[in-house]
Amino acid sequence: MGKAMLEETLQEKIKSGENIFVPYIMAGDGGLDILEERINFLQECGASAIEVGIPFSDPVADGPIIQEAGIRALDNGTTLAKVLETLQAFKANRTIPIIVMTYLNPVFVYGVDRFAKDCTNAGVDGVIIPDLPMEEEHIISQPLSNHEIAFVRLAAMTSPKQRLTELAKRSEGFLYAVAVNGTTGARTSHDDKVQSYLKELKEHAEVPVLAGFGVSTTEQAHALSNHCDGVIVGSKIVQLLHEGRLQEIHRLIEGSILAEVSS
């Protein structure tokens, strides 16, 4: 488990000719008692790894769909501690890497060292903290490293070239390339600058580069995967899960991981 498992799993997908597909789900949306069921379903659909979101009252990087899912989860009494306890309860039954996405405040309140230790106990392989700037990442990077958990960095198109290069070199597990200027949520298309941005990140990253934010269709997944190693899909997955449209999720994942769109 941990960073090695995450990186090995993703590299195996690349070697097999597949595009990487990482779905995002909001823990506690619909209740924590269905978290295992949802993770198993996404694994069966062909997901490469799963990003598990921790609900937070001020999710600055999230669009309306994920914000609403977070509110539902908080109303269900979901906490960081309960999510980690739930993940730990069925970690022996999982084979797919798990990445926890949370904001810094819940981790700081929980206790950074305790968080890293409990992530290990829960079988968490990687952590994403979108509101933690590179200059302050020492707050969490060393404790995660001590427990062999990947610290996944995010890169934004608005960042200077030197900063993007440094983020690409530092990232573990994979590099999360934010493919829009804005919050999460479906987009009809992506900026023309995205291609050169992804290409530049690929030149410097030692881990797979995955594009996220605004990806909601197989066509978008393929268009972006042509310039990186795969995609992360959040809002669309969260919406379809909430509405019980499981077959659409299966088609989205199955179609996106193929190297080429079937004719």
* Three-class HEC string of 86-140: HHHHCHHHCCCCEEEECCHHHHHHHCHHHHHHHHHHCCCCEEECCCCCHHHCHHH
Q: Which tokens sit at 147? A: 């427990």
Q: What are the DSSP calls for 167-205, one per residue?
A: HHHH--S-EEEE-SSSSSS--S---THHHHHHHHHHHH-
Give the residue numbers annotated as catalytic, written as ranges. Answer: 51, 62
| Rounded Cα distance, 130 and 177, in Å | 11
